[in-house]
Amino acid sequence: MREVYATVCELSDCIELHYDRRMHRSFFVLAIMLASSTLLAHDLAAPPAAPPAAPPTPVAPVKTAPLAVEHYAPAANIPKVSLERVLGKLKLIRPVQMLQSPGETGGAVFIVEQPGRILLADLAQDGATEAAVALDIRERVNDSGNEEGLLSIAFHPKFPERRELYAYYTAMDPRRSVLSRFTVNADGRTIDPASEEILLTQSQPYSNHNGGTCLFGPDGYLYLSLGDGGAANDPHENGQNPLTFLSKVLRIDVNAKSDGKAYAIPSDNPFVSNAEYLPEIWATGTRNIWRMQFDRKTGDLWGGDVGQNKYEEIDLIKKGGNYGWNTREGFHAFGGGKKATEGEVVFAEPVIEHPRREGVSITGGFVCRDPKIPALDGVYLYADFGYGTIWGAKLVGDKCTKPELLAKKATNLVSSFAEMNDASLYVIGFDGGQEQRNPGSIWKIQVRP
């Protein structure tokens, strides 16, 4: 979730516009009008925290992989898409996720509201005006910052045999990110708030860049993305610090406990035998992944990593991958970041990059596998939050086809995508702006006639 503000600074006759992901469109247009010079996009300078700690001692020198002459395969001529609103009479407050429980064959969906509620609705009852509350933990959730709140949930893949729901949210006193397990009641529809078991926490120095997505992979393990800790430019250099969860994708086994933890470490995690890394780490050097999802057919893990100044990127998250932050942004060296030197580590390339003229804050999506719309089979659909644009690309070998603009919903800030058990896809958005109690809506993706 991304906070927005504008600060005009007179320094060497330069004007800098600072904003982050959740940019209200009218404010963005006004900012462009005020700055006739090149637009420089920067993250929210969050409230002051403790001074940055001394940079960690690098565990190994790094080098960048040589850039390909051409980053993309030829465009795939993907058909345009249209959006059909569903559950239009429900009052939703900053919805950030929608999903079904495993095994659900009807239209029952769980909708996550950022302030800390999970609602239960039914897509088959499109005219419904109210939704049941499945879980309300607003008193535990800190959503005072625009990127804070209840950010992601996931059902155990063996649900309902294991009636477990996992939730990732931010809390206060101290400011931190929390991954917890809750028990789903016997009705399969409500969650017991008193059943919370905290699995892990991560202190957060600032209010922004919390990530994140929790989800289960096809291997049955839980994956979690966390941002770099916030402010701007990664001041604590968490991106290349192997001894923090920040700026990482984690992978844990929630079906066991070991070493005094509420979970176990999978034996095939990439750094499990390397004392210089936390063993939970699956991938490193990601700046602030906002939504990652597995392709249900191939098992590939796609992530939308929000950029800093110039570039948004889409990554294929792989075992042991180092995605370069804060040495790189997209395919490029990041000015002012940690310098790369020749050595043993090679940074993983993104598969898609968008410059600022095309996007200000990426929202990761899904690879479409809906049999009802075969024209989109294999297309990775994703969005830009600020512009309300929906893009598509296909993976061909080790390259993506050139991204194609498929739709634009100018009045919506695209907060997330959703995939139902039947593989149908939906878009979730904030309507008209991103104020703290702003309403939201849900839209079904279809191929434009």
pTM score, two decimals? Answer: 0.87
Tens digit of pLDDT at every position of the chain (449 positions): 443 333 323 233 232 223 344 434 444 433 433 333 333 333 333 444 444 444 443 333 334 344 343 789 999 999 999 999 999 999 999 999 999 999 999 999 999 999 999 999 999 999 999 999 999 999 999 999 999 999 999 999 999 999 999 999 999 999 999 999 999 999 999 999 999 999 999 999 999 999 999 999 999 999 999 999 999 999 999 999 999 999 999 999 999 999 999 999 999 999 999 999 999 999 999 999 999 999 999 999 999 999 998 999 999 999 999 999 999 999 999 987 877 665 667 899 999 999 999 999 999 999 999 999 999 999 999 999 999 999 999 999 999 999 999 999 877 899 999 999 999 999 999 998 888 788 999 999 999 98
> Comparing C-alpha atoms, which of 61, 57, 65 is closest to residue 342?
61
Given this model, what pLDDT does residue 382 score?
98
Structure tokens, 145: 């910052």
CA distances from 178 to 196, 200, 210, 258, 330 (A): 11, 6, 10, 19, 29
The CATH topology of domain 17-47+62-447 is: Neuraminidase (2.120.10)
Q: What is the pLDDT, as a whole number, of residue 40?
A: 30
Domain-by-domain residue ranges, the chain?
Answer: 17-47+62-447
Question: Would you state the torsion angle of the CA atoms of residues 145, 307, 53, 348, taken in this order, to the nearest 10 degrees?
Answer: 140
> Contact, 37 vs 78, CB < 8 A?
no
The pLDDT of residue 45 is 35
The 10 Å Cβ neighbour count of residue 56 is 15
The token pair that represents 69 in the structure block: 């002459």
Residues facing residue 109 across a β-bridge = 121
Per-residue pLDDT at 205: 95
pLDDT at 332: 93
What is the reported pLDDT for 43? Answer: 39
